[in-house]
Structure 1
Amino acid sequence: MSNERLQILISAVNKDPEELIGNMNLDCDAVIVNQLIGEDHDADKSGERQDYIQEFKDYKARVICRAEKGVGLSRNTALQNADHELIQFGDDDIVYDDGYVQKVIAEFDKHPEADILLFNVKAQEGRETYWNTDFARVNWRNYGRYPAYAICARRQKLIDTGVRYSLLFGGGAPYMNGEDSLFLHDALKAGLAIYRTPVAIGKERKGESTWFKGYKDEKFFFDRGVLYHFLYGKMAMILGFRFLFKNKNEMCKELGLMHCYKLLCSGVRHGRKL
C-alpha cells in the first residue's frame, strides 16, 4: 500500500526503469535518476530523456532521465526531487528484502533522536566494508566505512542543513570512490545525529566494480590522497600513511609502500588546490 513516509532515491546508468524496479524488489515510492550515457543514448532520441511517472504495485516512481555523468550529481538530483518524510539512497545493484520498508520506518519511529540511520546491506564477497552488530552513535572515528546504500535519513534534516553529495568523487566523477564517506563527514560537521543499526534490509548483487581496477592502478592512490585532503585536512598525509601501512600486504604488494605513499601525498597536495 502506498505511503508518503519512505521514498527510495536510486542512482542508475542506462537502465530500463520498469525492469530495474522488479530486479530491486522495490516496495515503496521512488525517485529514479537514470543517467543515459553512450552512443545508444544519442541526443537525437529526445523522447528517452523526458521525465515521467512509472506506476508499479500501489506505488509510483518518478523517473528522471539525464544525459550526464556522476553519481554525486545523480544522488543530488534525486534528493532535490524527493518529497517524502524519510528517504533512503539506493544503487541499481541492490536487491531489497521483503518487508524492508516496514523495518526502516519502524527503526526511525523507535529512534526519534536519529537524523540518519545506517542499515545493514550485505555486500558481495570481497567488497565488504562494514556489518553492524549493535545500535550505536556514529562519530568521527567510524563514519568512513559506510556505502550510500546503507544510508537512510529524515529528508527535511538534509534539506535544512544543505548537506549534499560531492561532485568530485565516485563513478563518473574526476576522482574515484569516497563520495559516501565525504557525505557522512559533511553530515557530522553539520551537526546531524547519525546512528548505525543491526537491522538488515537487502543485499548487493554480484557484478564488477565500475571504478576499481586493482592496486596496480596508480590513480587509486592519487585519488585516495585527494579524498584524504577533504576528509582530514592537515592530518591527511599522516592518516594516509597509517592507512597504507595497515593495508600494505594487500594494497602495496605491486607498487611498494613508499611509491604508493608518494602517490597519495601528490593527491593530497593536488586536493589543496581544488
Structure 2
Amino acid sequence: MNLRGEDIVEKSCIKSDTLIVDQCGHDGYREYEKDGRKIRIYSVNDTGLTKSRNYAIKKSTADICLLCDDDEVFVDNYEEGILTAYKDIPEADVMIFDIGNQKTIHRDKPTKLGYFDLMHVASWQISFRRKSLIENDVYFDERMGAGSGNGAEEELKFLTDCRKKGLAIYFVPFVIADVAQTKSTWFKGYDEQFFINRGNTTRYIMGYVPALLYAVYYSVRKRHQFNRDISWFKAFRLILKGMHENRLGKN
C-alpha cells in the first residue's frame, strides 16, 4: 500500500520478472527493466489484500507465479530452484516452498500435501501454475484477508479451493527466502475479535463440525500464546461465538 520511494524489488533481492500491485487511491501503470528483469507496477484505487492478489493473478502473463509479501528477502537462486522443482514434478499445480526463518512443514523430501498440511502454510510459501488457476477459476476469496474486516485464513481457503478443484499441491523443502519480523497489517494480538473472526473463517472453510473440533484443538494447543486475560476456555467460547455468528455464509 502506498509504495513510495523505496525500491521493494531491491530490498527483497528479487532477481526475476515482477508484478507489483500498489493500493494507493488512484489508478495507473508503469514498467521498466533492470538487470534483465521486467518490473510492472499497477497502481489501483482499491483496498484489500485478496483483491490485490487476484488482480495480480489476472494481470500476470507468467507460467509460474510466486506470491511475495513486502517483508521477504529472497535467496540468490530462488528462481532456479522453483523452476527446477516444477520441471521435476510436472503434475504439480501448486507448490509450497520453505522459508528459512519461518519453517512450518517439517519434511525432508518433496511431498504431496493433504488437507491438514494446508493449515500450516503461509502466503509467502505459495507458488502456482497460473494456467491451472485460470482454467479452474480458482482465486482468493475477497471476503477474507487483511482489509476485509473478517480476519485471515485466506491462504487456507485458497488452498482448499485448489484441492476441491482437483489441483495437485506439493511441498518442496527448498528455501526461497527469509521473512522479516515486521508488524502485521491485520494481527493485533490474541484479543476477543481475533477469536470471533477465527470462528467465522474456520466454519466458512471447513464446515461446522470440523470447525468445532478444530476450535477445541486450537484453543488448547495455542493457549500459551494468548493474552493474559484470555484463557483457553474463553478463547474456545469466543470461537464458538464466531461460528454461530457465521457472517461469511452458511456451511
Task: Tell me, yes or no, whether TM beats 0.5.
Answer: yes
Q: CA deviation at 1:244?
A: 0.8
Aligned residue among 204, 218, 230 for 1:230: 204
Go from structure 1 to structure 2 and tell me whether the alpha carbon gap of 1:159 and 1:17 turns closer, same or farther (over 3 Å shift): farther
Question: Match of 1:224, as an amino acid?
Answer: R
Deviates most, 244-253 or 155-164:
244-253
Alignment partner of 1:154 is 2:100: no
Distance in structure 2 (CA, Å) of the matches to 1:142 and 1:77: 27
Work out which of the residue numbers 17, 27, 44 in structure 1 matches 2:15.
27
CA 1:211–1:132: 2 relative to 1, 3 Å:
farther
Query: Shift in Å at residue 254 of structure 1?
Result: 2.4
1:219 aligns with 2:207: no
- Name the amino acid aligned to 2:171: R
Q: CA deviation at 1:258?
A: 2.4
Q: Which moved more, 1:160-169 or 1:255-264?
A: 255-264
The TM-score with structure 2 as length reference comes to 0.92
Q: Deviations over 1:225-252 (max 9, x none)?
A: 0111122102212221221122223336
Deviations 1:106-133 (A, max 9, x none): 1100111211110112346xxx544543
Change (3 A) 1:219 1:272: closer
1:101 maps to which residue? 79
- Looking at structure 1, the residues matched to 98 and 85 of structure 2 have their Cα atoms a distance apart, in angstroms, of 12
- Structure 1 length normalisation: TM-score? 0.85
| 1:142 matches 2:117 | yes
Once the two structures are TM-superposed, the CA of residue 207 in structure 1 deviates from its matched residue by: 1.4
- State the partner residue of 1:243: 218
Deviations, residues 193-234 of structure 1 (Å, cap 9, x unaligned): 00101111111123112222222x111100100111122102
Aligned-partner residue type, residue 66 of structure 2: Q
Aligned-residue Cα RMSD (Å) equals 1.8
Residue in structure 2 matched with residue 89 of structure 1 by the alignment: 67
Q: Which runs of 5+ in 1 are unaligned?
A: 1-12, 37-42
Structure 1 residues 95 and 206, CA gap change in structure 2 (3 angstroms): same
The Cα of 1:18 is off from its aligned counterpart by 6.5
Over the matched positions of the two proteins, sequence identity in percent amounts to 26
> Hey, what's the Cα distance between the residues in 2 that align with 1:166 and 1:75?
10
